[in-house]
Amino acid sequence: MSQNTATQSMNLTLHIWRQKNAADKGGFATYKLGGVSPDSSFLEMLDQLNEELIGKGEEPVAFDHDCREGICGSCGMVVNGVPHGPEVRTTTCQLHMRKFHDGDELWLEPWRAGAFPVVRDLVVNRDAFDRIIQAGGYVSINTSSAQDANLIPVPKVNADLAMDAAQCIGCGACVAACPNASAMLFTAAKVSHLGLLPQGQPERGPRVLAMVAQMEAEGFGGCTNHGECEAACPKGISVNFIARLNRDYLKAAVTSREVPERRTVKR
Amino acid sequence: MELKSNAPGGPIETAWDRHRFEMKLVNPANRRKFQVLVVGTGLAGASAAATLGELGYSVKAFCFQDSPRRAHSIAAQGGINAAKNYRGDGDSIYRLFYDTVKGGDYRSRERNVYRLAQVSVDIIDQCVAQGVPFAREYGGLLDNRSFGGAQVARTFYARGQTGQQLLLGAYQALERQVELGTVEMHPRTEMLDLIVADDRARGIVVRDLVTGKVEVFQGDAVVLATGGYGNVFFLSTNAMGSNCTAAWRAHRRGALFANPCYVQIHPTCIPIHGEHQSKLTLMSESLRNDGRVWVPKKKEDIERASKDPNSIAEGDRDYYLERKYPSFGNLVPRDIASRNAKEVCDAGRGVGPGGQGVYLDFRDAINRLGDKVIAERYGNLFEMYERITDENPYRVPMRIYPAIHYTMGGLWVDYNLMSNIPGLFVLGEANFSDHGANRLGASALMQGLADGYFVAPYTVADYLAKNGHAKVADDHPAVKEALGATQAHVHRLLNTPGRANGRSPLAFHKALGQICWNKVGMARNEAGLTEAISEIRALRDEFWKEVKVLGSGESFNESLVLASRVADFLELGELMARDALQRKESCGGHFREESQQPDGEAKRDDENFTFVGAWSWNGEGALPELHKENLAFEYVKPSQRSYK
């Protein structure tokens, strides 16, 4: 407990990936930053750096961020080789500087994956995730055609498990952590969320086939059971959902009459 | 200007049904020829875009985030209200309507609120059908809880992530339409102007945030679902990107801005830690169900309390909410809990750094129920608190302080959710209509989805059926003027005369936030508001003299984006202060120190202020003009709120 104990400010050395745009080659730039409060969040530390850079007439470091509460999934960068940094089950925005030490040297990089091209500095393009959802990550129901909500009972254990999967914030840390840059955990979370509920049954087979086809078309790798994705996931989504996806996929593949077309991807 | 609500007369219970029947329809074969532009893809925008797409209209949707799934609706924790009466505890549409009008302190439009309560039941059906994993009981049916001091359990929830799950439901419906080709999605795109020609909204000007390209999109109707303006205070519970720009730019083109002074301050947020703080984190108000709020009775105990709160004896603690409001205790509405926290801190009895905090203590609940039960109820919140503060709330009381959370004010709309500019619709937090001067807990999600799924799809269609296409030539003077003005705006932000030695956009944003929080915050008075207006004006002048934005307009430039938003906040902040100055009563989230009861509680003035204050823009630096829509209460008779 550090309640109201006088806090000492920290000095850091930051090696940050700077890249002007997708076409630029990019490289690390090194900055010294002093006067960092241990109570600051990681992104507040970067705000502080950016204010100093602007003061000196240098363009600030670009990074995605929005809610800063760990729920929107906007933020994310690789800190010293670990997506979202050293704290488990914590997004970059919820990481606090007290987890580091005075004098630390930090390496900050964007998510590295062919399917996530760099937009600028630490910002990447994650449209591929949206296209995986477009391929089938929904229940096809139009507004105003629903029956009374309590006419669809769902066993509590299934509802809870569906919620465990549905918590995915779509940040992309799973892809960044995977040696194959696979999006299996992301895809499996949505396949499982909907596959566990009665509402998701009619489209269960076509959904898993289409979403996996899209994932492959985007250039994400396959899953070879490293489990790095679960370790990096700020929501702690379990790799068990990948097993569930594989089961659904196998079942659908042998019973389905149509194999979804592999779609082309524009970037 | 006469403001007509266009609400149907007759019995309130059947008003919406009759109104829908009287609407004109668009032939299904003609729908795809109509182009609807939806700006913002949170609950209101995503649900409206998806539904309009399902109906067959051609929709273009825009959001500044990299994906519609990231809109700030995602951060809502507690739940969504609906008058399902699944518990059989006496809830009904009428009761939800009544509670919302009363909770809004009699400053909302009755007929809008009744419709909101009516469609609330359809929202739950729709979301469950989409697969939203709401909490359930062992029998498999939906669970409910009582929220924010409501006397009935009408709140549906998905752990502490209700907003996330509802948004993902709407996002998935939206992506389904993208796949089907009815919706074209434009992420990382910010609206910077509204095109109005011949008294009708005809399109928008946007900037692509990746390439910097400024572009025009024409449409037959424009729907703004762009959220609230709480970030005018800089520090708030809003996401960093939440901004007023789309709404404000529409205001500058003639849309009236209603009740800007109605701002909700949430009582249970984590206090400020230091000068580099960038945002405030809300702790769900469900915590007040078991936590007890206190500060030390004696000032000499403050220092000891701040070091070791558990050392303060029971008799030396002031449980001020329980003392002052014996019947509601710690569960008084948000505005009252916030004001009382400020009052004890202003009196020098606040705890923690800078004396800006009060305790929310779980000791008694833990002694009564044990750690395990408390962990089941609040485990994720306790974890979040510890992650941010490094303090364990099971062992030491939490420190909380109020923070800006939600804005009830917004663009003025009629019953059809259409602004005074024909063809410009405003949904969700961006409009002013349903919450009056104070919003009840778990009602924001309800309103966003009501507007998007169940109201706008009807009213926009009716508008299109009656008014036909809006397209004008690409070189129409109004189009060229709006495009040129936007390009000039971007150029001006990048080229202020004093930029070499100027200040960053963030520095200006923080300075504006300070003024607003100190003088247009929880308690307002004439002198403070008058000062705020002149201070904001001076700051705005400095901003345009020396804001320092590096880089170019033709690239991904976050600093430029922030500068453009701050420029608009600098104008909105002044209007907010003017509205607060004009409203000499206290009501809901707006507390004027001059208007108090003898015991210090808020005093409403129904005789002089039962109206919506809607402002029109008269040009940069010129005084805005106030227009009034008088409110009538036929069903819920105004009374002074009392929680004693």
Query: Per-residue pLDDT for A5 more than 60?
Result: no
* Contact criterion met (CB below 8 Å) for A128 and A220: yes
Q: Kindly state whether residue B498 falls inside one of the protein's structural domains.
A: yes
* B392–A40 C-beta distance less than 8 A: no
pLDDT score at B334: 86
- B214-218/B410-411 β-pairing: unpaired
What would the mean pLDDT of B602-608 be, rounded to a whole number?
96
For A119, the enclosing helix (H) or strand (E) is strand A118-120
Of B54, B185, B353, the CB nearest to A4: B353
Query: A142: which chain B residues are within 8 Å (Cβ-Cβ)?
Result: 51, 54
Residues 6+ apart with CB under 8 A from A56: none
**Structural domain tally of chain A?**
2
* Same domain membership, residue A206 and residue A114: no
* B276–A44 C-beta distance less than 8 A: yes
* B159–A153 C-beta distance less than 8 A: no
Look at phi and psi of residue A206 and say left if phi exceeds 0, alpha if psi is from -120 to 50, else beta: alpha
Instruction: Dig out the tokens for B240 from the structure.
Output: 């960093």
pLDDT score at A7: 62
Q: Kindly state whether residue B576 falls inside one of the protein's structural domains.
A: yes
B17–A contact, CB cutoff 8 A: no
Confidence band, pLDDT 50/70/90 cuts, at residue A180: very high
B51–A contact, CB cutoff 8 A: yes
pLDDT score at A260: 67
In this predicted model, what pLDDT tens digit does every residue of A129-149 receive, in sequence order?
A: 999 999 999 999 999 989 999
Domain closes at, from A71, A87, A120: A120
* Same domain membership, residue B611 and residue B485: yes
Q: How far is A32 from chain B (nearest CA, A)?
A: 17
Query: B384: which chain A residues are within 8 Å (Cβ-Cβ)?
Result: 69-70, 94
- Residue tagged 């939440």 (tokens): B242
Confidence band, pLDDT 50/70/90 cuts, at residue B333: confident
Query: Per-residue pLDDT for B641 more than 80?
Result: no
Nearest to B81 by CA among B169, B166, B12: B166
* Same domain membership, residue B271 and residue B388: yes
Q: Kindly state whether residue A3 falls inside one of the protein's structural domains.
A: no
Q: Which domain holds residue A166?
A: 126-255
Q: How far is A92 from chain B (nearest CA, A)?
A: 12
Q: What is the DSSP letter of B220?
A: S
Instruction: Dig out the tokens for B211 from the structure.
Output: 């390439």
* Same domain membership, residue B622 and residue B488: yes
Query: B550: which chain A residues are within 8 Å (Cβ-Cβ)?
Result: 54, 57-60
* Same domain membership, residue A192 and residue A98: no
Domain closes at, from A120, A141, A160: A120
In this predicted model, what pLDDT tens digit does every residue of B233-248 receive, in sequence order?
A: 999 999 999 999 999 9
Separation CA B220–CA A166 (nearest Å): 36
* Same domain membership, residue B603 and residue B484: yes
Query: Per-residue pLDDT for B121 more than 50?
Result: yes
Mean pLDDT computed over every residue of chain B: 96
Confidence band, pLDDT 50/70/90 cuts, at residue A264: low
User: CATH number, domain at A52?
Assistant: 3.10.20.30
Q: Kindly state whether residue B178 falls inside one of the protein's structural domains.
A: no
* Same domain membership, residue A161 and residue A107: no
Query: A241: which chain B residues are within 8 Å (Cβ-Cβ)?
Result: none
Confidence band, pLDDT 50/70/90 cuts, at residue A256: confident
pLDDT score at A58: 97
- Residue tagged 């120190």 (tokens): B593
Count of other CB atoms within 10 angstroms of residue B310: 11
* Same domain membership, residue B482 and residue B393: no
Instruction: Dig out the tokens for A250 from the structure.
Output: 């196998």
Separation CA B431–CA A58 (nearest Å): 39
Q: Which domain holds residue B292?
A: 267-404
Nearest to B338 by CA among B396, B401, B288: B401
Taking one residue from A and the other from B, the number of pairs with CB-CB distance under 8 angstroms is 233
- B292-296/B611-616 β-pairing: unpaired
CA distances from B153 to B42, B144, B156, B270, B367 (A): 26, 6, 9, 27, 26
Residue of A nearest to B49 (CA): A143
Identify each DSSP E strand in A171-217 by its residue range: none
Separation CA B306–CA B301 (nearest Å): 9
* Contact criterion met (CB below 8 Å) for A239 and A185: yes
3-state secondary structure B314-343: HHHEECHHHHHCCCCHHHCCHHHHHHHHHH
Q: Kindly state whether residue B434 falls inside one of the protein's structural domains.
A: no
What is residue A41's three-state secondary structure?
strand
Q: Kindly state whether residue B148 falls inside one of the protein's structural domains.
A: no
In this predicted model, what pLDDT tens digit does every residue of A56-85 receive, in sequence order?
A: 999 999 999 999 999 999 999 999 999 999
* Same domain membership, residue A177 and residue A158: yes
B86–A contact, CB cutoff 8 A: yes
* Phi, then psi, of B286 in degrees rounded to 5: -60, -20
* Same domain membership, residue A131 and residue A71: no
What is residue A255's three-state secondary structure?
helix
* Residues of B known to be catalytic: 334
* A69–B70 C-beta distance less than 8 A: no
Query: B559: which chain A residues are within 8 Å (Cβ-Cβ)?
Result: 50, 54, 59-60
* Same domain membership, residue B399 and residue B500: no
Query: Per-residue pLDDT for B299 more than 50?
Result: yes
Total residues found in chain B within this entry: 644
What would the mean pLDDT of B246-255 be, rounded to a whole number?
98
- Residue tagged 């941010």 (tokens): B388
Instruction: Dig out the tokens for B165 from the structure.
Output: 């799950």
* Same domain membership, residue A228 and residue A147: yes
* Contact criterion met (CB below 8 Å) for B61 and B174: yes
**Structural domain tally of chain B?**
2
Query: Per-residue pLDDT for A15 more than 70?
Result: yes
Query: A20: which chain B residues are within 8 Å (Cβ-Cβ)?
Result: 555
Instruction: Dig out the tokens for B382 from the structure.
Output: 């306790």
pLDDT score at A2: 41
What would the mean pLDDT of B377-385 be, rounded to a whole number?
89
B272–A contact, CB cutoff 8 A: no
Query: Per-residue pLDDT for A262 more than 70?
Result: no
Tally the C-alpha atoms within 13 A of residue B239's C-alpha that lie toward its C-beta.
26
Q: Greatest CA span in chain A, whole angstroms?
A: 68
> Which residues 142-181 of B have a C-beta within 8 angstroms of A?
142, 158-159, 161, 164-165, 168, 171-173, 175-176, 178-179
In this predicted model, what pLDDT tens digit does every residue of B147-181 receive, in sequence order?
A: 877 889 999 999 989 999 999 999 999 999 999 99
Q: Kindly state whether residue A266 falls inside one of the protein's structural domains.
A: no
* B131–A139 C-beta distance less than 8 A: yes
Q: Kindly state whether residue B211 falls inside one of the protein's structural domains.
A: no
* A140–B388 C-beta distance less than 8 A: no
* A159–B125 C-beta distance less than 8 A: no
> Which residues 376-405 of B have a C-beta within 8 angstroms of A?
384, 387-388, 390-392, 395-396
- B221-224/B424-426 β-pairing: parallel
How far does chain A reach from its first CA to its final CA, in angstroms?
Answer: 49
Nearest to B412 by CA among B196, B195, B611, B614: B614
Separation CA B614–CA B256 (nearest Å): 6
**CA dihedral over B412, B417, B422, B425, signed as positive or negative:** positive
ipTM: 0.96
Q: Kindly state whether residue A267 falls inside one of the protein's structural domains.
A: no
For A30, the enclosing helix (H) or strand (E) is strand A27-36
* Same domain membership, residue B376 and residue B507: no
pLDDT score at B450: 98
In this predicted model, what pLDDT tens digit does every residue of B468-514 receive, in sequence order?
A: 999 999 999 999 999 999 999 999 999 999 999 999 999 999 999 99
In this predicted model, what pLDDT tens digit does every residue of A196-226 receive, in sequence order?
A: 999 999 999 999 999 999 999 999 999 999 9
Separation CA A223–CA A233 (nearest Å): 15
What would the mean pLDDT of B201-220 be, rounded to a whole number?
98
User: CATH number, domain at A212?
Assistant: 1.10.1060.10
